[in-house]
Amino acid sequence: MNAPLRHRPTSAPLASSVELRLRCLAPRIHALGEGPLFYLLREIAGGANVVDAAERYARLPADLIRAYRGDRLPPALAVVRRPS
């Protein structure tokens, strides 16, 4: 018989105050839409401080971003080369 699966954390535990702050910011960032979320993740992947970047994005006006369609991602572009 196989042993029961146990929860294995995928990353180091966050300090409780950081986790609580990110939980507070998450709904505000989610309300911005997929576009701003993508740009936030790109900044973090580039080395930005997670909490500082999340704080900055959470202050953005979601209604204004939606009004100008900034909540959506632009279509991905691909370079198509002709066969030689």
Q: Which residues contact 66 (CB under 8 A, 6 or more apart)?
A: 33
Which pLDDT score is estimated for 71? 96
Residue 10 counted as domain residue: no
Residue 80 lies in a domain: no
Provide the pLDDT for residue 80: 80
* Distance (Å, whole) CA 8 – CA 67: 42
pLDDT band at 23, cuts 50/70/90? very high
Does 25 map to a domain? yes
84 within domain boundaries = no
Residue with tokens 């100008």: 68
The number of folded domains in the chain is 1
- The residue range of the domain holding 55 is 16-67
Could you tell me if residue 82 is inside a domain? no
Q: Looking up tokens 């740009």, which residue turns up?
A: 39
Per residue in 29-58, pLDDT (tens digit) is: 999 999 999 999 999 999 999 999 999 999
Q: Enter the tokens of residue 63.
A: 């209604």
